[in-house]
Amino acid sequence: MGRLTAALVVLWLCSAAVEAEYIKYKDPKQPVNARIKDLMSRMTLEEKIGQMTQIERKVASADIIKKYFIGSVVSGGGSVPAPKASAETWINMVNEFQKGALSTRLGIPMIYGIDAVHGQNNVYRATIFPHNVGLGVTRDPELVKRIGAATALEVRATGIPYTFAPCIAVCRDPRWGRCYESYSEDHKIVQSMTEIIPGLQGNVPSNYPKNFPFVGRRTKVVACAKHFVGDGGTKDGINENNTIIDWNGLLSIHMPAYLDSIRKGVATIMVSYSSWNGKKMHANYDLITGYLKNTLKFKGFVISDMWGIDRITTPSRANYTYSVQASIQAGIDMVMVPEEFIEFIDDLTLLVKKNVIPISRINDAVRRILRVKFIMGLFENPLADLSLADQLGSQEHRELAREAVRKSLVLLKNGKDRDEPLLPLPKKSEKILVAGSHADDIGNQCGGWTIEWGGQSGNITIAIKNSIDPRTKVVYEENPTKEFLNSHNFSYAIVVVGELPYVETSGDSKTLTIAEPGYNTITNVCEAMKCVVIIISGRPVVIEPYLKKIDALVAAWLPGTEGQGIADVLFGDYGFSGKLARTWFKTVDQLPMNVGDPHYDPLFPFGYGLTTSPRGLIAAQ
């Protein structure tokens, strides 16, 4: 009897030990809310604040992530593990950071984020799609959804599960240096283009909770609608400036795409550097907590922009403790610190301990961050592998980008006489001239937010050579002199000019001119022969008084790596179909000028675009 009792005791102890080992938050069969509740009941303040902290990969290590319980790591623009790093190098870096997170007491995985805004654009050999300014022209939400799905695969190919895209700004002034990140001046087009979100994250199931974040598993990524709110409406188009508009204007122009994004399950929303009627968005409680969280019922997490909370004060970081307090109280859940993370953690910890920031606000932030991590399956699959590495720069994705280029081109003029169109160009000619600073430079064609690309096949000059009869001679001369032009007998010329790459504030422009010697090249070439001018730019630019010299004019925006798509349409394999999603002004003195304005007098109106058939017949405007 004693032996039996002893055996029962041992059996009971063993079963109790097994039962004790069961941890609810680690069980994927449990409801998300139950997992969140269980995990949060185990977390210390230090662990919670760690989840709210996103640090730059340059200052990150497995040890730092473990020591400070860091919840997220970010690659800023151009922040890479090595020059020309392979997918495997990226994966190894991300996994090394992740192992630091998994080795903490509770093993909460970190989430790695990157700016994949037109493809996985920080990564060598990735497919670079046209920037949003071109995609808006297509008016093709299904195309944009496919681009989202392809981008998700290329981001996952490098071991990363989170992209800070899409930008759903409604750019109301092309002088803004980020206008190319905006699909259109018209909020309806921007709303339709939020279809990129289910491309990135996956389709929300029909029986899924309304306005709840949704992220598919291994082939999908967390998306981020940005920049909340009014970033495209700043005064004079100055980046990070003040958007002066009443509540109804904000709701009718800048807010609608956020409602669509939330409805489509967007998991995160990034706050804008800009202000609304003098109030910094990073400190705007009424809009972040009052409207976004309470009225719109957004259940994902709200993230700051990089150094965004620092800029609450002028000058930046003038009172960092206040910036931490104001931003967290406003409702920001995760802060892109990105380097001075110890100061951020110390300040936030002290503010909570002094009861300046209530623990309920911290709990709200952590609950939202954990919700996204559970929904996306990060706890079940925290480590990346090489299974998707072949998706990086795949031929299928490059063909998709080429299709997007074809559909994003806008034909603004075709022949000085409407009865004699120049386009499509003949493939058989004696000799043609290719000129201009942008014809032979793939960096110019990709624009900002693009790391060095690993190939040259997207180069427009090469694309032209690939499209024509092999007996046609192609001569490239960047800025031909009149003497050079007179000494050759060219059939026609293709001139490719435009803006040089820029990002953010460096792209703000009061003049909106193309890079020198672009206008000189247009004048010399187009006065000497029939010419088609292709403009590579992130927005409409000054084209008067040169328009009358030009036979055919094409707005190609920032097409990315697949320049062959331009040649496909130039030579008539496909027709022009793009319609302006932005008003093309006559002079910068007219700005801001958007469709519907009382003083609307454009060079080319919103919605304008000539079409051609693949057989070369000019169609209706």
Complete DSSP assignment for 441-472: -HHHHH-SS-PPPS-STT-HHHHHHHHS-TTS
Q: Which residues contact 439 (CB under 8 A, 6 or more apart)?
A: 459, 460, 461, 476, 478, 494, 495, 496
538 within 8 A of 507, measured Cβ to Cβ:
yes
**Encoding tokens for residue 304?**
């700051």
- What is the C-alpha separation between 173 and 167, in angstroms, rounded? 16
How confident is the model at residue 456, as a pLDDT?
52
Residue among 222, 224, 94 nearest 164 (CA) = 224
pLDDT digits (tens, 9 = 90+) for 73-132: 999 988 999 999 999 999 999 999 999 999 999 999 999 999 999 999 999 999 999 999
**Encoding tokens for residue 130?**
């046209």
pLDDT digits (tens, 9 = 90+) for 423-481: 999 999 999 999 999 998 889 999 999 986 555 556 899 999 999 999 999 999 999 99
- What is the C-alpha separation between 423 and 540, in angstroms, rounded? 21
Cα end-to-end span (Å), the chain: 98
Residue among 359, 268, 334, 366 nearest 25 (CA) = 366
**Encoding tokens for residue 604?**
């080319």
Task: Report the DSSP beta bridge partners of residue 462.
Answer: none
Helices (H), 103-224: 132-138, 141-157, 187-193, 196-201
Residue among 594, 564, 565, 561 nearest 578 (CA) = 565
Residue found by looking up tokens 């959804």 in the block: 145
- What is the C-alpha separation between 60 and 53, in angstroms, rounded? 12
485 within 8 A of 525, measured Cβ to Cβ:
yes
Residue among 567, 582, 580, 571 nearest 610 (CA) = 580
The amino acid that residue 319 corresponds to is N
Q: Strand 473-477's sheet: what is its strand order? A: 410-414, 552-557, 531-536, 492-498, 431-435, 473-477
How confident is the model at residue 18, as a pLDDT?
46
Angle separating helix axes 395-408 and 141-157, nearest 10 degrees: 150
Domains and CATH numbers, the chain: 37-391 (3.20.20.300), 409-617 (3.40.50.1700)
Mean pLDDT of 24-44: 98
Residue 414 pLDDT greater than 50, yes or no: yes
Residue among 553, 550, 555 nearest 536 (CA) = 555
Residue 612 pLDDT greater than 50, yes or no: yes
269 within 8 A of 300, measured Cβ to Cβ:
yes
Residue among 46, 385, 331, 442 nearest 218 (CA) = 385
Q: What is the largest CA-CA distance in the chain?
A: 114
Cis peptide before 166 (omega within 30 of 0): yes
Q: Which residues contact 332 (CB under 8 A, 6 or more apart)?
A: 271, 282, 288, 302, 303, 304, 309, 365
- What is the C-alpha separation between 153 and 199, in angstroms, rounded? 10
- What is the C-alpha separation between 492 and 528, in angstroms, rounded? 9
**Encoding tokens for residue 607?**
């919605």
Residue found by looking up tokens 């730092």 in the block: 64
Residue among 197, 185, 232, 173 nearest 579 (CA) = 185
Q: Any idea which residues carry the catalytic annotation?
A: 305, 504
Mean pLDDT of 479-504: 96
Task: Report the DSSP beta bridge partners of residue 82.
Answer: none
pLDDT digits (tens, 9 = 90+) for 41-85: 999 999 999 999 999 999 999 999 999 999 999 999 889 999 999
Threshold 0.75, pTM exceeds: yes
Mean pLDDT of 147-168: 98
The mean pLDDT of the chain is 95
How confident is the model at residue 620, as a pLDDT?
38
Residue 617 pLDDT greater than 70, yes or no: no
- What is the C-alpha separation between 89 and 91, in angstroms, rounded? 5
- What is the C-alpha separation between 208 and 227, in angstroms, rounded? 26
